[in-house]
Amino acid sequence: MKYSQKTRDLSQLIAENCTSCKRCMKDCLFLQKYCDDPQELFDRFLTEDLDPIVPYSCLLCGRCTVVCPLQLKLDEAFLAMRQDLAKEKLPLKQLKSVRVHQWLSTSRLFCGWNLGKKADK
Ligand code: SF4
Ligand code: SF4
């Protein structure tokens, strides 16, 4: 997977500046599950690529930025990875059911718009 320059720049900023203090990890189960610390994680992304399950598992809550002494924006980097994956039509396989759900929810067969049309007649 070839990620955009924006994604690589955001990741490099974290890989180069994170001090591995782990303050952001204290309350983040996602980081605790997928890395030793953000410096290690983003370094791994830049050198080996990452399983898409990693960026898709971040909640994008931004708490890490609030507690980080350097205000590093981990959520922005994970969001950029997800946007690149979506552009390449590489979302998680597990998300295919979400697409079907959205398709059905907005179809004329099931949505209120259809009922409204019938009521107008
Ligand atoms: S934005 Fe992601 S990495 Fe940061 S605290 Fe929330 S879940 Fe964890
Ligand atoms: S709080 Fe900031 S500097 Fe500390 S480990 Fe997390 S991202 Fe790195």
Which atom in ligand 1 lies closest to the alpha carbon of residue 60?
A: 1
Tokens of 56: 């898709």
Query: Residue 24 phi/psi, 5° resolution?
Result: -70, -20
pLDDT tens, residue by residue, 8-45: 999 999 999 999 999 999 999 999 999 999 999 999 99
pLDDT tens, residue by residue, 53-74: 999 999 999 999 999 999 999 9
User: Ligand 1, residues 28, 36, 67, 82: which to mutate, most atoms within 8 A of Cβ?
Assistant: 28
What is the model's pLDDT at position 113? Answer: 60
What is the model's pLDDT at position 104? Answer: 80
What is the model's pLDDT at position 117? Answer: 55
Q: How far is the CA of 17 from the centre of ligand 1 (A)?
A: 17
Query: CB-hemisphere CA count at 13 Å for 41?
Result: 25
What is the model's pLDDT at position 102? Answer: 77
For helices 5-17 and 74-87, what crossing angle results, to 10°? 150
Q: Which residues line ligand 1 (CB under 6 A)?
A: 28, 30-31, 58-64, 74-75
pLDDT tens, residue by residue, 70-117: 999 999 999 999 999 988 876 666 677 777 777 787 777 776 665 555
**Atom 1 of ligand 2 has which residue's CA nearest to it?**
68
What is the model's pLDDT at position 92? Answer: 67
Find the ligand nearest to 77 CA.
1
User: Ligand 1, residues 10, 11, 30: which to mutate, most atoms within 8 A of Cβ?
Assistant: 30
